[in-house]
Chains A and B, each alone.
Chain A
């Protein structure tokens, strides 16, 4: 029997009920959930968050925040919680031990076996997760928008999402990732976390990470691959649109900037918390569950504004190295050096004073003007794909606009089910 092992040696969670069992759902109390919760239900059920089998109870939240681990000692850094307004809990008459049917976008999505209904101080949750209570931090803002009460318990997906193009080409469950790596005969897989359209600096980081991850394995038969795993979730105006991110990352391989046998692109449904160091730990856990053996961490991983120092994430990963089931590959930033006449890394280039840094603002300005960048900045095919995806999916812009948010095609749809209501 094929084994699927994830974080801390735990078997990959699989809580997905086969189709055609909707008859069992009749008469259950139905509670609608918002997009954020629906995405986490999907991730929990397929095992992206192994060993979690559902939303955290109070003990798990406390242990995560205070000890950076689950009650059984497994490393864990970010609370995964289900929130509901107290008045809704009263209205539904919810109690620990109840099982309800969760519904998203008018369709049943999961069974939820509630084992704990609890309060938690969101100031404390913010400060321990993000190291700040400042509402300017998007994660703190999210935590403060929780609706007052939390419910812990296992979830079981009863309706598998059907992903729409172009997402359908890039969707894989953790088990499917592991199967794909086995098929490719990859022994080492280095994860590249992204929410960007790649410039040449990103491409060079991935290549540097490949060499680090290949370690002492022979190079005449390639057994190391790069998994570009994009984070698809909550979008803010000005972010790259999800479709552009996936299609441009894939274009790097399609146009030969990566060999066919060393590169693949997938995505995970996750709302970035911008928790810097703690989110880096979470990303390491997540990619372990996808079957990766290595994870690249660059400068200011998962940071936002000036809330974290550039290498805080790498420092925390070093601190918890023994409890990680994945090997971190630490890199400094890449820049363009006019003396070396190439994209190079701060760790090796001696022309720091002449270095030209890749900046998001600068790239944004170039792409907004629609001026094809030089090859030293962005691959021409990548630029063409950005512009095409802007036209196909982004109402003319590769960046998220209010118009895009209002009119974007859903990432996935759920099958309509006839379920008798309670």
Chain B
């Protein structure tokens, strides 16, 4: 573990994903954003953020408003969601676990 996470990665949750979260007892972590679409906020550390941006050059960090990593490839976001479910967590251990397994690749 590399410290407390203060960088956000937003994962969209639809009905199908909400069902999976419910089964894992994590549905309370998803917050309603828009017309039934929910967001799961996974956090990571500054160090993990730098690693992700290095691995995925198309991704951007919004440092001024949302403090979140945007435009991560779809496969990476899928992987983050799966890892979050598996670890029953939304903390930095999700990204640490994913990076240790070679990221979303």
Identify the A interface with B (CB < 8 A): 200, 336, 343, 356, 358, 362, 365-366, 368-374, 376-377
Stretch at the interface among B8-16, B42-50, B88-96: B8-16
Q: How far is the CA of A372 from the CA of B33 in the complex (A)?
A: 15
Known: A366-B12, A369-B12, A371-B12. A377 touches B71 (CB 8 A): no
Q: Is A371 a contact of B35 with CB atoms below 8 Å? A: no
Give the residues in chain A near B11, CB-CB below 8 Å. Answer: 369
5 sampled A-B residue pairs with Cβ under 8 A:
A365-B10, A365-B12, A369-B77, A370-B74, A371-B17
Known: A371-B14, A372-B16. A377 touches B37 (CB 8 A): yes
Known: A373-B14, A374-B14. A368 touches B34 (CB 8 A): no
Q: How far is the CA of A365 from the CA of B14 in the complex (A)?
A: 13
Give the residues in chain A near B35, CB-CB below 8 Å. Answer: 200, 336, 343, 356, 374, 376-377
Give the residues in chain A near B33, CB-CB below 8 Å. Answer: 356, 362
Q: Is A373 a contact of B37 with CB atoms below 8 Å? A: yes
Name the CB-closest residue of B to A377.
B35
Shortest CB–CB separation between residue A351 and chain B, in angstroms?
A: 14
Give the residues in chain A near B36, CB-CB below 8 Å. Answer: 374, 376-377
Shortest CB–CB separation between residue B4 and chain A, in angstroms?
A: 25
Give the residues in chain B near A368, CB-CB below 8 Å. Answer: 71, 74
Shortest CB–CB separation between residue A337 and chain B, in angstroms?
A: 9
Q: Is B34 a contact of A369 with CB atoms below 8 Å? A: no
Q: Which residues of B in the span 11-64 have a Cβ within 8 Å of any Cβ on A?
A: 11-17, 33-37
Q: How far is the CA of A366 from the CA of B34 in the complex (A)?
A: 11
Q: How far is the CA of A358 from the CA of B14 in the complex (A)?
A: 16
B82 close to A (CB within 8 Å): no
Q: How far is the CA of A373 from the CA of B37 in the complex (A)?
A: 7
Q: How far is the CA of A362 from the CA of B39 in the complex (A)?
A: 11
5 further A-B pairs in the complex, CB-CB below 8 A; given A365-B12, A368-B74:
A336-B34, A356-B34, A365-B70, A371-B13, A371-B14
Nearest first, the 8 closest Cβ-Cβ pairs linking A and B are A374-B36, A376-B35, A336-B35, A371-B12, A370-B74, A377-B35, A356-B34, A369-B12
Q: How far is the CA of A121 from the CA of B37 in the complex (A)?
A: 50
Q: How far is the CA of A362 from the CA of B34 in the complex (A)?
A: 9
Q: How far is the CA of A377 from the CA of B10 in the complex (A)?
A: 18
Give the residues in chain B near A200, CB-CB below 8 Å. Answer: 35
Q: Is B74 a contact of A372 with CB atoms below 8 Å? A: no
Q: Which residues of B in the span 70-93 have a Cβ within 8 Å of any Cβ on A?
A: 70-71, 74, 77-78
Give the residues in chain A near B12, CB-CB below 8 Å. Answer: 365-366, 369, 371
Give the residues in chain B near A366, CB-CB below 8 Å. Answer: 12, 37
Give the residues in chain B near A369, CB-CB below 8 Å. Answer: 11-12, 74, 77
Q: How far is the CA of A221 from the CA of B11 in the complex (A)?
A: 47
Name the CB-closest residue of B to A343.
B35
Name the CB-closest residue of A to B11.
A369
Shortest CB–CB separation between residue A105 and chain B, in angstroms?
A: 31
Residue in contact with A377 in the complex, picked from B13, B16, B34, B77, CB distance below 8 Å: B34
Shortest CB–CB separation between residue A2 and chain B, in angstroms?
A: 46
Give the residues in chain B near A377, CB-CB below 8 Å. Answer: 34-37
Give the residues in chain A near B78, CB-CB below 8 Å. Answer: 370
Give the residues in chain B near A372, CB-CB below 8 Å. Answer: 14, 16
Give the residues in chain A near B16, CB-CB below 8 Å. Answer: 372
Shortest CB–CB separation between residue A200 and chain B, in angstroms?
A: 8
Name the CB-closest residue of A to B18.
A374
Shortest CB–CB separation between residue B88 and chain A, in angstroms?
A: 21
Shortest CB–CB separation between residue A136 and chain B, in angstroms?
A: 18
Q: How far is the CA of A372 from the CA of B36 in the complex (A)?
A: 12
Give the residues in chain B near A374, CB-CB below 8 Å. Answer: 14-15, 35-37
Q: How far is the CA of A216 from the CA of B11 in the complex (A)?
A: 48
Shortest CB–CB separation between residue A245 and chain B, in angstroms?
A: 21
Shortest CB–CB separation between residue B86 and chain A, in angstroms?
A: 18
Q: Which of A369, A372, A373 has the most CB of B within 10 A?
A: A369
Give the residues in chain A near B10, CB-CB below 8 Å. Answer: 365
Name the CB-closest residue of A to B77.
A369
Name the CB-closest residue of B to A357.
B34
Q: How far is the CA of A356 from the CA of B14 in the complex (A)?
A: 17
Q: How far is the CA of A358 from the CA of B36 in the complex (A)?
A: 13
Give the residues in chain A near B70, CB-CB below 8 Å. Answer: 365
Shortest CB–CB separation between residue B56 and chain A, in angstroms?
A: 13
Shortest CB–CB separation between residue A333 and chain B, in angstroms?
A: 14
Q: How far is the CA of A54 from the CA of B74 in the complex (A)?
A: 47
Q: How far is the CA of A358 from the CA of B13 in the complex (A)?
A: 17
Q: How far is the CA of A132 from the CA of B57 in the complex (A)?
A: 35
Give the residues in chain A near B37, CB-CB below 8 Å. Answer: 366, 373-374, 377
Q: How far is the CA of A373 from the CA of B13 in the complex (A)?
A: 9
Shortest CB–CB separation between residue A288 and chain B, in angstroms?
A: 35
Give the residues in chain B near A371, CB-CB below 8 Å. Answer: 12-14, 17
